Chains A and B, each alone.
Chain A
Amino acid sequence: MKLFSISRCYVSNNSLKQNSLLINRCFCNKVKENNKIETQWHSVVGLEIHAQISSNSKLFSGSSTEFGNPVNSCVSYFDCATPGTLPALNRKCVEASVITALALSCKVNEISLFDRKHYFYADLPAGYQITQQRQPIAVDGKINFHVFTPGIHKEPYFKSCKLKQIQIEQDSGKTIHDDYLRKNLIDLNRAGNPLMEFVFEPTLNDGEEAAALVKELMLILQRLDTCSCKMAEGALRVDANISINKCNEALGVRTEVKNIGSVRSVAAAIKYEIQRQISIRNSGGVVVNETRDWDECSGKTIFLRGKESYQDYRFMPEPNLPPLHIHTDETSENKYNLIDAVALKNQIPEMPQETRDKLKIEFNISKSLIIVLVNFPELLQLFFYIIKNNGKRSPNIVAKILVYQTLTFIYKNKLDLAYCFTIKDHLCELIDLLQSEKITLLTIDNVLMEILKDQTMFPSQIIERNNWIQINNDDELRKICQDILNKYPRQVKQYKGGKKQIFKYFVRQIKESTNERANMSQVVQILNELLK
């Protein structure tokens, strides 16, 4: 069984696309208007999320879980269902699931059980998947998150969603259909990888809320280091259940959308599916229970299978795995060296919401800046580095430079956020130059471009060499302003005649004539005086 490794290039492109989509949203100001017909409809969204547990070896075998290995090179006898092999539960995966469950306020079950779920598929070698159907590892949790997509929401709002259960299960392999050879090629590297499945209650209203939930879950899992959350590698997979109903109606028939490959796609796929259902209902049709595929390229959901292909999974207890016991009682001693939920609870690191609260209290930055900072762990780390490196730096300025200038620069140039760390000291200097009014905000973009060209150059050298130092001298500025006013007497006349918006025109002319070096607050002041 040989097949082409198609996955690697897929990775980086996609993650970049996902992020640039996000940043485009941040800087667009168009607010989506809802038309009246749509508002009659209420949409209900539920999520099922599969997260691959960070672990060196598989859930029930010793083979590697590393992504991107040669096809069928990480397959133990158990993974390809060799007769006579038995599952041996990976303790680390259970610990990861337990700490995740605790971080999401779940009740960890003292005893959980494994079941077999049967279906025939070429990439499911045993003919069944080992999962937890009857008694999962944890139940009754919740996730709190902020919904805020710049351009869509003016203000962040808070939302909470109940987490019905977390179950531990094994992944399947991959089948690739080669239409040319008319053959199915099977790669079992992924078969048996450890997964946590999160089943959330269907209490979300739209795609943005779903995307925000997914983003927050990713942040939490990354903090816990229990999942890499690399969606492009399939480490996090989102299935959405979507239905619509009118105000006084019962819940509508739901459809399931699978294969959603990025956070922004979660929002887009759900939005598309809601719209699709609304147009069906509005034109008198009925929504049927079916599974649909999200097609990233066309931006549409596509029919995958209908209800007629209903599978009876013939669940049965997995006889080769004894009941999984977890030590959950705080008052008793862990006598049998069980996985210790009590001890794991104390190992939970700071969660994203705690960080947000801290940033608010300690630095008093605006809520939306905080949300973006925390959403990008690299930015947050950089923020703390820059602040701690020199206490005189203004947290608000640092946050703004990172969230606006730096992030834009990164995406415009298709860089990885990790690049920021290689220029972290450049950024420190840049912020100091800005704070001490040596450069204008507008010069920063240019300086960053110069750094990208030649990293040995530091901002102070760059601005010196290019003569990008901010003009703060009052006389000099006054002269520049006067020159511009002299140059445009007609506009001055209009301004004095009451057309006040022309002021912006003068400002722009001064920016351009000074190569964006002028201290703009001073310019505004001087212009006001000169135009009196």
Chain B
Amino acid sequence: MNRILALPMKTVGQMVAAGEIRPGQLADAALKMTVAIKPLNAFVTVTGELLKQQSRDADERQMTKRLLGDLDGIPIAIKDNFCTGEQLTTCASRMLGNFVPSYDATVYRKLKEAGAVLVGKTNLDQFAMGSGTVDSYYGPTKNLWGSSFMQNYSIDGRFHVDDIGRSNGLSGTEDWYIAGGSSGGSAIAVLTGTCYAALGSDTGGSTRNPASHCGLVGLKPTYGLVSRHGLIPLVNSMDVPGILARTVDDAVAILNTIAGPDPFDSTTYKRVYTPIQLPARVDISGLRIGIPKEYRCSGLTNEVESNWMQVGQLLEDAGAHILPVSLPHTEYSIVCYSVLNQCEVASNMSRFDGVEYGFRADEYSTTKELYAKTRSQGFNDVVRSRILTGNYFLLEENYENYFVKAMKVRRLIAQDFDKVWQSGIDLLLTPTMLNTAPNYSDFISQDNQTQCSVQDYCTQPANMAGIPAISIPIKLSNEGLPLSVQLMAPKLCEKTMLAVAKWIEDVVKFPVLVLKDDSLIS
């Protein structure tokens, strides 16, 4: 069973179809894993009862040969900012600590309709505001890499588990590596083999960032390709449901399931989605791949940079044209994002008043007092400060100087990309993160905003422009932590981007983690 949990989703799907394994067995193992990985704190809620019910249904379909497709019976996890009917959806906040929506996010509904079974709702920074999954009401999520829990795994490939990094404890006093964020819980759920794929959300890099720190594939589709209906928003104009998976093929399978028009989300593309089929053998010769010079920035570690250059070299050796390009407004992306983010946060968060749902403070003097107390107790410092700043930016006298200006900068950033595509560039190759996963203590020595400004540097511009991007794991650093690269493509050009990602994946052979034995899951 330990090997089955580490297999690509497609292979497992074939095994289910062939009757070699029951969905119930997969769900059982997944449930046991959620208990075993508790120290890593990947889940806010394990949806055990639902999982059992859904997998029983899948068993039934398997027996009657009415399986719904490749995903039938496959355990998945969903970030806890997507609404799941009759299941807690907390956004890792006190504000929604008791919130049970009565409807399903479109992406969850589509996964359900494809037969996927839900293991649980994963941890995040409160309302996805963060880049480390350290600002959760339910505590931080810890990385598997460099943790003592890694002792349970072996690596298929070059390394033996004892060679990779320090084995840190998981108790509060000892230091550990962060998982990245804000979709850190989803990343750890997939990385540990608890599920085969998970949904994250990506507003400034929240899917690609933990993918990079955890050695996973992290896909941010084109804005509007996947419905946001049911995703509790951070920044509506940039939020995209993201996919965390162990292989590019797995990510494609999930994308093909969740993408497409949705009448409940007016910003989705209206045309019918054609599922992406990646060719078995990818030919990258003649592809024009741009290396934007602005991504060679201060803060970029040597290791990350040389990793980036090596991947460029690999591509060039295989016949791709590697070309230097410029995206001159990149450095303004973070500050621009910070204004737009806080404005939308101020607006989006105004619905949390304790009246209709969620946390309500014990206050009955006046409606205003009720609001004030509810909001001050229900949100953490990060959320409250963003609300305050955002409202400041939106004041009549400030609107032009902040919001309007930021919108103009956003357009310039998007135009940077347009110009590059117009010059004949097919894809951009950049680092995903400036460094490998930081220590928790180092990370929290900076405030949330500083963390984000460093962590989001390479990922954020894609959200500004609404273009697709993917983080692909390449190799382990000297410290034994994952290193990655990012590909970006023009809007709706996921297919080319994913094909090249798959080519890289095949070439670099990033280590696969396999549970040493079945002791944790039997």
Contact = CB atoms under 8 A, between A and B. Distances in A.
B101 A84 contact: yes
A184 interface: yes
Interface string B349-365: 11111011100000000
Given A86-B229, A118-B347, A319 B101 contact: no
B357 A82 contact: yes
A495 interface: no
Interface stretch (B31-39, B259-267, B443-451): B259-267
Interface in B320-379: 343-344, 346-347, 349-353, 355-357, 367-368, 371
Contacts of B2: none
A86 B232 contact: no
A210 B452 CA distance: 56
B347 A316 contact: yes
Interface stretch (B53-61, B168-176, B391-399): B391-399
Interface string A77-115: 100111111111100000000000000000000000000
A319 B407 CA distance: 12
B377 to A, nearest CB: 16
Given A186-B355, A312-B396, A85 B229 contact: yes
Contacts of B351: 81, 83, 125-127
A81 B356 contact: yes
Contacts of A316: 343-344, 347, 394, 403
A136 to B, nearest CB: 18
A83 B355 contact: no
B207 to A, nearest CB: 17
B391 A314 contact: yes
Nearest to B228: A86
Interface in B213-243: 228-233, 235-237
B394 A87 contact: no
Contacts of A343: none
A320 B231 CA distance: 12
B159 interface: no
B371 A120 contact: yes
Nearest to B230: A84
B105 interface: yes
B103 interface: yes
B272 to A, nearest CB: 16
B232 A320 contact: no
A314 B395 CA distance: 5
B297 to A, nearest CB: 29
A319 B236 contact: yes
Contacts of A82: 83, 101, 103, 356-357
B149 interface: no
Interface in B265-319: 265-267
A3 to B, nearest CB: 14
A315 B101 contact: no
A122 B347 CA distance: 16
Contacts of B263: 88
Main secondary structure on B side of the interface with A? loop
A86 B266 contact: yes
A382 to B, nearest CB: 45
Main secondary structure on A side of the interface with B? loop
Contacts of A184: 367
A320 B368 contact: no
Interface in B373-426: 391, 394-396, 399, 403
A125 B351 CA distance: 6
Contacts of A320: 236, 265-267
A128 interface: yes
Interface in A112-136: 116, 118, 120, 122, 125-128
B401 to A, nearest CB: 14
B242 to A, nearest CB: 16
Contacts of B105: 84
Contacts of B101: 77, 82-84
Interface string A172-198: 000000000000101000000000000
B99 A83 contact: yes
Counting chain B CB atoms within 10 Å of each CB, which of A126, A319, A321 scores highest? A319
Nearest to B83: A84
Interface string A303-346: 00000000010111001111000000000000000000000000
B138 interface: no
Interface string A9-50: 000000000000000000000000000000000000000000
A314 B229 CA distance: 25
Interface residues of B, number: 45
B215 to A, nearest CB: 30
Nearest to B265: A86
Contacts of B367: 122, 184
A118 B264 contact: no
Interface string A395-428: 0000000000000000000000000000000000
Contact of B103 (A77, A128, A314, A321): A77
A116 B237 CA distance: 14
Contacts of A118: 347, 350, 394
B104 to A, nearest CB: 10
Contacts of A86: 228-229, 264-267
Interface string A148-190: 0000000000000000000000000000000000001010000
Contacts of B343: 316
A84 B347 contact: no
Contacts of A80: 356-357
B346 A314 contact: yes
B304 to A, nearest CB: 33
A317 to B, nearest CB: 8
Interface string A280-310: 0000000000000000000000000000000
Nearest to B350: A127
A121 to B, nearest CB: 8
B100 to A, nearest CB: 11
Nearest to A122: B367
B429 to A, nearest CB: 30
A84 to B, nearest CB: 4
Contacts of B233: 83-84
A89 B232 CA distance: 20
Interface in A213-229: none
A7 B88 CA distance: 37
Contact of B232 (A84, A122, A314, A322): A84
B355 A122 contact: yes
Nearest to A320: B236
A116 B346 CA distance: 12
B88 to A, nearest CB: 13
B145 interface: no
A125 B266 contact: no
Given A80-B356, A312-B395, A128 B350 contact: yes
Counting chain A CB atoms within 10 Å of each CB, which of B236, B344, B346, B347 scores highest? B347
A125 B89 CA distance: 19
B344 A319 contact: yes
Given A186-B355, A314-B391, A320-B236, A84 B350 contact: no
B102 interface: yes
B43 interface: no
Given A82-B101, A84-B83, A314-B396, 16 more contacts: A80-B357, A82-B103, A83-B83, A83-B352, A83-B357, A84-B101, A84-B232, A85-B229, A118-B350, A120-B350, A120-B353, A120-B368, A122-B355, A125-B351, A316-B403, A319-B236
Ranked 10 nearest A-B pairs via Cβ: A127-B350, A314-B394, A319-B236, A319-B237, A81-B351, A83-B232, A84-B230, A84-B83, A126-B351, A84-B232
29 contacts: A80-B356, A83-B83, A83-B352, A84-B83, A84-B229, A84-B231, A85-B103, A85-B229, A86-B264, A86-B265, A86-B267, A88-B265, A116-B347, A118-B394, A120-B353, A122-B355, A122-B367, A125-B351, A125-B355, A127-B351, A312-B395, A314-B391, A314-B396, A316-B394, A319-B236, A319-B237, A320-B265, A320-B266, A322-B267
